[in-house]
Amino acid sequence: MRVLITGGAGFLGSHLCDRFLAEGHQVIAMDNLITGNTANIEHLAGNKNFLFIDHDVTNYIYIEGQLDAVLHFASPASPIDYLELPIQTMKVGALGTHKALGLAKAKGARLLLASTSEVYGDPLVHPQTEDYWGNVNPIGPRGVYDEAKRFAEALTMAYHRYHGVDTRIVRIFNTYGPRMRQEDGRVVPNFIAQALRGEPLTVYGDGTRTRSFCYCKDLVDGIYRLLLSDEVEPVNIGNPSEMTILDFAKKIIELTDSNSDIAFIQPTDMRIKDDPKVRQPDISKAKRILNWEPRISLDAGLQETIDYFKTVVKR
């Protein structure tokens, strides 16, 4: 196949580039580098099957020649990003998705939309299944991301039903691994960087909020299988092994062999407003239709991630 990956210089986008190239496909990565980084794909320079295009996908996308698939992964993806880049977040979810769908329609290509567990908001159903409609605050600080992704899903299904575009939707749950941005504000890079520096790990509230962490290689495998499947409606991809943020902090301290303490902070900023209290995917559908479930243990995935951060964290 010849595939376009928007957001291809980002954390997940770059790992997708690696997987598709490893499978023998031609890959075009497109990114405007607002949160992506060419360092994530510099190891692909010189690969005859790889091309990078610096472009903002909210503008018209032109790709010369055949295209078999479009994977739309362009978007800021952390609470800090939503606060600093609210308009850009909305635009890439709305206009960027529109441009990506238009390209897929023109090329007769299959489009896979990167959606998110954030479409479930602060869920009233636990664990979250694909038929749950969510509990989202549309005017809160997270609304720019949550509603952009919900709109993107609706637009994707509209193009599928009205124009007959062959589409797929993945709802991604918390994912971690090498190439995460150190400063993106999410719990994995925050905790690892703090532990490596010997600083206290900052836990908001009492640490009882839960998350489910999926290693990036497992997630990419699920996405690859979904693209090749016949499933049109959304599919959860994530790790159903749930743990509290406090237990996760202790795990990071253990694996980094750090002397860090844990500091409990009562947040006063907007970063955790509407922050989900629980987050756990029901992956029954992925198991059934994709024969997929996570394979890499938390300890193994975190060790690879810690090894990466040791090369980038200044101490």
Distance between CA atoms of residues 170 and 180, nearest Å: 20
**210 and 175 in contact (C-beta within 8 Å)?**
no
Has 204 been annotated as catalytic?
no
Nearest to 298 by CA among 246, 256, 258, 248: 248
**Greatest CA separation found in the chain?**
58
Q: Tell me the C-alpha distance between 207 and 202, whole Å.
A: 10
Helical ranges in 58-199 per DSSP H: 79-84, 86-91, 97-107, 143-158, 187-197
Contact (CB, 8 A) for 198 and 261: no
Assign 313 to helix, strand or coil.
coil
CA distance 225 to 242: 24
Adjacent-strand bridge partners of 26: 2
Rounded Cα gap, residues 238 and 200, in angstroms = 28
Which of these is catalytic: 145, 159, 215, 224?
145
Q: Report the candidate in 177, 175, 146, 165 with the shortest Cα–Cα distance to residue 75.
A: 146
Given the DSSP bridges, would you call strands 175-176 and 50-54 parallel, antiparallel or unpaired?
Answer: unpaired
**174 within 8 A of 238, measured Cβ to Cβ:** yes
Closest by CA to 103, choosing from 152, 65, 136, is 65
Catalytically active residues are 145
